[in-house]
Amino acid sequence: MDDQLMDVLGDRRWLVLTGAGVSTDSGIPDYRGPGSPVRTPMTYQEFVREPEARQRYWARAHVGWSRMRTAEPNATHLLLADLAREGRLSGLITQNVDGLHTRAGHPDVIDLHGRIDRVICLDCGRTSPRAELHERLSRLNPGYEQRIGEIAPDGDVVLDDTADFRVAPCLACGGRLKPDVVFFGENVPKDRVARCFALVEEAESLVVLGSSLHVMSGLRFVRAAHKRGIPIVIVNRGTTRGDDLATLKLDAGCAETLTAAVSVS
């Protein structure tokens, strides 16, 4: 397996695209990995339109954040940070919102879908730390974060009844707060997409780790790399939408594959 990967990549620098499968070893479940339950995430339109949806989201997210904020970078995050410092990567784009690549010490990450540790006001645009909002929500809802539920991929927890949860408004304008992440049905900011395409245009190879490439926001970069004719390696448990574009597809875990590849390179 490691020989296959290095035969394809040779001494080329890697542009890396990571998905939820990279963070499962840190205790954060993914959406579409083998055995994952069917999940229906909240859409941007629902969140913006319905006060009850925002109440449900923030109740679940408040409980989930109590756990997600303690997640630690795993071997894959640490290995990629080491490779970046050694100059062996040309860039890293992540579809994850957990911030674990940055916490691992990676010097330059493009958080394609934003960061769950930041909050933005939909009405005035003010951004603020998630920790600040968490403290406010804890004061408004004493003891709420102790509730029990299954943790979901975006860091929230499945709760049946959230009608008693009190939502905090923006401190600047009293408006609607949202995590600074791209919801389903929302577009990735154009300047962020442009930065990613610029990396693909300069890349010597593309390595996709732990992503099913189910959503177009990641798949389009694989298509662009394929159009350029550069080597594409996909490491993911289960099929992906980019399998037919890959030079090499490995149905395997990210950490063991990377560790083996680095040890022989």
38 annotated to a ligand binding site: yes
- What's the maximum distance between 2 C-alpha atoms anywhere in the chain? 58
176 annotated to a ligand binding site: no
Parallel, antiparallel, or unpaired: how do β-strands 248-250 and 89-94 relate?
A: unpaired
27 annotated to a ligand binding site: yes
210 annotated to a ligand binding site: yes
Active site residue 113: yes
118 annotated to a ligand binding site: no
30 annotated to a ligand binding site: yes
22 annotated to a ligand binding site: yes
23 annotated to a ligand binding site: yes
Q: Which of 77, 106, 113, 134 is labelled catalytic? A: 113
Strands (E), the chain: 14-18, 89-94, 109-111, 114-121, 127-129, 177-181, 206-209, 232-235, 248-250
196 annotated to a ligand binding site: no
97 annotated to a ligand binding site: yes
19 annotated to a ligand binding site: yes
Cβ neighbours of residue 82 under 8 Å, at least 6 residues apart? Answer: none
Q: What is the full DSSP assignment across 51-107?
A: HHHHHHHHHHHHHHHHHHTT----HHHHHHHHHHHTT-EEEEEE---S-HHHHTT-S
189 annotated to a ligand binding site: no
Strands (E), 122-176: 127-129
List phi, psi (to 5°) of 120. Answer: -130, 145
Q: Vertex 65, ends 63 and 66: CA angle to 5°?
A: 70
169 annotated to a ligand binding site: no
Q: Which two tokens stand for residue 57?
A: 């989201």
Quick check: 118 and 167 in contact, CB under 8 A? no
Q: Which two tokens stand for residue 112?
A: 């394609």
Radius of gyration of the chain (CA): 19
141 annotated to a ligand binding site: no
Measured CA to CA, the distance from residue 10 to residue 30 in angstroms comes to 30
238 annotated to a ligand binding site: yes
Annotated active-site positions, please?
Answer: 113
Residues at the binding site for NAD(+) are 19-39, 95-98, 210-212, 236-238, 254
Residues at the binding site for Zn(2+) are 121, 124, 170, 173
Residues at the binding site are 19-39, 95-98, 121, 124, 170, 173, 210-212, 236-238, 254
